[in-house]
C-alpha cells in the first residue's frame, strides 16, 4: 500500500495541462500490454495492433462469462491475483481478477476520496450497512475483516422495525464517525428514524458523513437522509471489478475517478458523444494487467457535464441502477441486493448461468428466469433453496424457468430483482 499511495500521489500531482497526455499514454500502455500478454483480449480485438482508440472493441459482460483462467494475462494465475465475483445486479454475473498493484491503487483511490470528508481508514469507526456471508467460516472471516478495518456491520437481510431498533441501540453506544452502505437499506433506516422523530446525529454526535452506494439515490431520499441522519450525504458510484467510478466531492459534484480509470460516454455505434449528451458508460481500467477491462460497457447510461476536463470529469447524470425491496411474510424487508447472496450460489465460473432475473409475484412467491447452457441440476436447486432459507426465511416458494433470452427495458438494461406486489 505504501507504494500504491506514492504512485497515486504522483498521478494527483500531474497538472491539468498535461493530464490528457497522461491518459493517452496510460491507456495505450495498458492496451499494448494486453495485446502482447492476453490471448483472450487479442482474440476479442481481432488484431495485434490498433492505431485508433475508437476502433477498439467494446467489452461486454457477456464477453467475460467464460472461465477466469482463460481471461488472465500471461504470468498471472488465480493464486497470484485478487479474485472476486460481481454482484450480478445487472443480471450478467462473472468472476474477475485484479493484479496486486491495481488492487492496491483501488484502495489508494478510495482512501483519498473518503479523506475529502475527514475520514481516516485507520482510525475512523464505520457503521456498515452491507450483506454478509452466513456460513460459519465466511461469517467469521468478514467479522474479523470488519474488526481490523475499524467498522461494525449491520447485515441488511432483515430490516424489520425490531432489527432497526437494535441498530439504533448501537448508534447510542458506539462512536461511529461515518455510515457506509447500500442506499435502500440506509433509506429504510432513515424512515424508521422518522417514525421515532429521531435525528441520528443527536444520539451519535461523533457522526460526520454518510456514503451511499450500489443503488440510485433519488432527490427525495437524499433530503430524507440529510434530515434524519443530520449529516452530509455523499453519493458514490462504483463497480467491484473496477474501482470507485464517481464520488461526490465537497462541492456537490459527482467527480469521476480519472486517476485509475478512463470514462467514455458512447453512442449506439461505440463512438464518443459530446459532453452534455446521454450515452452508454464505458470504462477502461488503466492499471489492471492481470485482466483486461478496456472499453468495458458497465451497463449504465450517463451524461458527462459540459464543464468536464481530462483531470476532473464530472458525471452530470446517471440513469438506472435502482433496486426494489422484497417484502416477506414474517414482516422482514430485504433490499433487492440481498439476492446477490442468494444467487451467488448459482454463479459458477464455468459460465453456465448467463443471465437471471428474480421476480416477486406474491408475498411468499418468487420466480427466477435464467439463461444457461443447461438446466440447473437438482443439487444446484437444493443449494439455492438452502441459501434462500438462510438469507431470507424458510417457507418461501421459488420456481425456476430456463429461457432463451430475458426481457430488457428500452435501454437494454436487465434488472435483477423486480417486485410485482405494487
At 157-170, the pLDDT tens digits run 777 888 899 999 99
How high is the pLDDT of residue 320? Answer: 53
pLDDT value at 289 more than 70: yes
Q: How many residues are present in the chain?
A: 422
- Contact in structure between 58 and 282 (CB atoms under 8 Å): yes
Are residues 259 and 11 in contact, defined by beta-carbon separation less than 8 angstroms? yes
Measure the CA–CA gap between 111 and 122, rounded to whole angstroms.
10
Q: Which fold has domain 1-106+238-321?
A: Rossmann fold (3.40.50)
What is the assigned CATH class of domain 325-419? alpha beta
Q: What pLDDT, on a 0 to 100 scale, did the predictor assign at position 411?
A: 38
pLDDT value, residue 345: 60
Mean pLDDT of 3-12: 94
Whether the CB-CB separation of 314 and 304 falls below 8 Å is answered with yes
Flag whether pLDDT at 412 surpasses 60: no
Per-residue pLDDT tens digits for 265-280: 999 899 999 999 988 8
Q: What tens digit of pLDDT does each residue of 195-224 get?
A: 899 999 999 999 999 999 877 787 888 999
Sorting pLDDT into bands at 50, 70 and 90, what band is 142? confident
Q: What is the DSSP string of 370-384?
A: EEESSPPPHHHHHHH
Portions of the chain given CATH number 3.40.50.12780 = 1-106+238-321
Would the pLDDT of 409 be above 90?
A: no
What percentage of the chain reaches a pLDDT higher than 70? 91
Residue extent(s) of CATH 3.30.300 domains in the chain: 325-419
Task: Specify the long-range contacts of residues 386-389, CB closer than 8 Å, at least 24 apart.
Answer: 386/345, 387/341, 387/342, 387/344, 387/345, 388/342
* Predicted confidence band of residue 344 (pLDDT cuts 50, 70, 90): low
How far apart CA 250 and CA 252 sit, in angstroms, is 5
Kindly tell me the number of DSSP H helices and DSSP E strands found in the chain. 11, 19
The model scores a pTM over 0.85: no
Which H or E element spans position 167?
helix 161-173
Q: Which residues of 96-111 are buried (b: 16+ CB within 10 A; e: fewer)?
A: bbbbeebbbbbebbbb
* Nearest in space to 422 (alpha carbons), one of 367, 366, 360: 360
Please provide the average confidence, as pLDDT, over all residues in the chain.
87
What is the per-residue pLDDT for 12?
Answer: 95
Architecture label for domain 118-231: 3-Layer(aba) Sandwich (3.40)
Q: How far is CA 384 from the centre of its chain?
A: 23
Between residues 30 and 141, the one the model is more confident about: 30
Contacts of 22 (CB under 8 A, 6+ apart): 11, 14
Residues 230-239 have a mean pLDDT of 93
Amino acid at each position: 500500500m505504501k507504494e500504491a499511495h506514492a504512485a497515486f500521489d504522483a498521478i494527483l500531482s500531474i497538472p491539468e495541462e498535461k493530464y490528457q497526455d497522461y491518459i493517452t499514454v496510460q491507456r495505450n500502455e495498458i492496451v499494448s500490454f494486453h495485446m502482447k500478454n492476453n490471448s483472450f483480449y487479442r482474440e476479442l480485438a481481432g488484431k495485434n495492433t490498433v492505431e485508433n482508440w475508437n476502433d477498439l472493441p467494446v467489452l461486454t459482460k457477456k464477453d467475460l462469462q467464460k472461465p477466469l483462467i482463460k481471461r488472465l494475462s500471461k504470468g498471472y494465475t488465480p493464486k497470484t491475483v485478487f479474485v472476486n465475483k460481481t454482484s450480478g445486479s445487472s443480471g450478467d454475473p462473472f468472476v474477475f481478477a485484479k493484479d496486486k498493484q491495481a488492487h492496491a491503487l483501488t484502495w489508494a483511490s478510495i482512501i483519498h476520496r473518503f479523506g475529502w470528508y475527514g475520514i481516516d481508514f485507520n482510525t475512523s469507526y464505520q457503521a456498515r450497512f452491507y450483506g454478509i456471508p452466513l456460513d460459519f467460516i465466511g461469517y467469521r472471516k468478514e467479522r474479523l475483516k470488519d474488526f481490523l478495518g475499524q467498522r461494525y456491520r449491520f447485515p441488511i437481510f432483515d430490516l424489520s422495525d425490531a432489527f432497526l431498533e437494535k441498530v439504533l441501540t448501537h448508534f447510542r453506544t458506539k462512536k461511529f464517525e461515518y455510515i457506509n452502505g447500500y442506499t435502500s437499506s440506509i433509506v429504510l433506516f432513515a424512515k424508521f428514524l422518522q417514525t421515532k422523530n429521531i435525528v441520528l446525529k443527536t444520539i451519535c454526535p461523533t457522526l460526520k458523513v454518510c456514503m451511499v452506494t450500489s443503488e440510485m439515490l433519488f432527490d427525495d431520499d437524499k433530503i430524507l437522509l440529510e434530515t434524519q441522519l443530520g449529516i452530509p450525504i455523499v453519493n458514490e458510484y462504483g463497480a467491484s471489478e473496477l474501482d470507485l467510478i464517481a464520488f461526490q466531492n465537497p462541492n456537490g459534484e459527482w467527480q469521476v475517478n480519472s486517476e485509475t480509470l478512463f470514462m467514455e460516454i458512447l453512442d449506439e455505434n461505440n463512438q464518443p458523444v459530446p459532453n452534455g449528451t446521454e450515452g452508454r458508460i464505458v470504462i477502461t481500467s488503466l492499471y489492471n494487467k492481470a485482466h483486461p477491462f478496456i472499453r468495458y460497457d458497465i451497463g449504465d447510461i450517463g451524461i458527462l457535464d459540459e464543464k468536464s476536463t481530462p483531470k476532473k470529469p464530472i458525471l452530470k447524470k446517471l440513469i438506472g441502477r435502482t433496486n426494489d425491496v422484497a417484502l416477506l411474510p414474517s414482516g422482514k424487508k430485504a433490499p433487492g441486493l440481498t439476492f446477490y447472496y442468494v444467487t451467488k450460489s448459482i454463479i459458477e465460473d464455468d459460465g453456465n448461468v448467463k443471465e437471471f432475473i428474480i421476480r416477486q409475484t406474491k408475498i411468499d412467491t418468487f420466480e427466477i428466469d435464467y439463461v444457461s447452457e443447461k438446466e440447473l441440476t437438482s443439487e444446484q436447486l437444493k443449494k439455492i433453496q438452502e441459501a434462500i432459507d438462510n438469507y431470507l426465511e424458510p417457507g418461501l416458494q421459488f420456481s425456476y424457468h430456463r429461457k432463451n433470452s430475458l426481457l430488457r427495458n428500452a435501454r437494454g438494461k436487465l434488472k435483477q430483482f423486480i417486485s410485482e406486489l405494487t
